[in-house]
Chain A
Amino acid sequence: GQSLEQPSEVTAVEGAIVQINCTYQTSGFYGLSWYQQHDGGAPTFLSYNGLDGLEETGRFSSFLSRSDSYGYLLLQELQMKDSASYFCAVRAYNAGNNRKLIWGLGTSLAVNP
């Protein structure tokens, strides 16, 4: 089967750094994305890694190692507004040989003062 694993919950304090890991097992691989979702809101795109290495966007960075089927999202200088759920998603093939986005179950990040 196809699966993504990420921690269900992470807690950190303001100003800290937190890393959310994502490991995947999929048929085919075409890149890993991260989405953020605040309570009551819609998922919004954060970052995409198509190749190995680190992508940086402001306080957020995302890393991919295709040989390890592993990626992570790094959030630096945490702020209260970063409290949200974070989803990793991988593009792979489904049983019908169509490309689809496979989603992890999400990591709920709580940032405390």
Chain B
Amino acid sequence: DTAVSQTPKYLVTQMGNDKSIKCEQNLGHDTMYWYKQDSKKFLKIMFSYNNKELIINETVPNRFSPKSPDKAHLNLHINSLELGDSAVYFCASSRGLDMQDTQYFGPGTRLTVL
């Protein structure tokens, strides 16, 4: 009965490859997010979707393309992977966009680009 799940948990790949990370939430939330956390633990918002619509795209290279097939899923596809893409990627969801709407995070996907 995991609230927010991500697959895979670990991803090791070569530069130049294309990879996808999947996220699903079973909380009935309207809003989903992707975050990137680098080795210095800085949590950077990448995208935010509300009711399947993109509402925030924080100057992320267009090699990163999110897709939300429905409210419960937000996948992240990354083209032409670069060394600097190595990080932990967290998916999160919240009931809505209000401040008091707690964000629930998935377990993270550790991406290593060689």
Chain A residues with CB under 8 Å of chain B are 30-31, 33, 35, 37, 41-45, 48, 50, 85, 87, 91, 94, 96, 98-101, 103, 105-106, 108
Q: Which residue of A lies closest to B108 (CB)?
A: A42
- B102 — which chain A residues lie within 8 A by C-beta? 33, 45, 48
- Chain B contacts with A in 34-62, Cβ cutoff 8 A: 40-45, 48, 55-56, 58
B44, B56, B92, B100: which contacts A94 (Cβ < 8 A)? Answer: B56
Whether the Cβ atoms of A98 and B100 lie closer than 8 Å is: no
Tell me whether chain B's interface is mostly helix, strand or loop, or mixed.
loop
- Give the shortest distance, in Å, between A70 (CB) and chain B (any CB): 17
Whether the Cβ atoms of A85 and B41 lie closer than 8 Å is: yes
- Give the shortest distance, in Å, between B52 (CB) and chain A (any CB): 16
- Give the shortest distance, in Å, between A24 (CB) and chain B (any CB): 13
Inter-chain CA distance A106–B40, complex, in Å, is: 9
Whether the Cβ atoms of B100 and A101 lie closer than 8 Å is: no
Q: Which residue of A lies closest to B106 (CB)?
A: A42
A50, A87, A96, A101: which contacts B45 (Cβ < 8 A)? Answer: A101
- Chain B contacts with A in 48-92, Cβ cutoff 8 A: 48, 55-56, 58, 90, 92
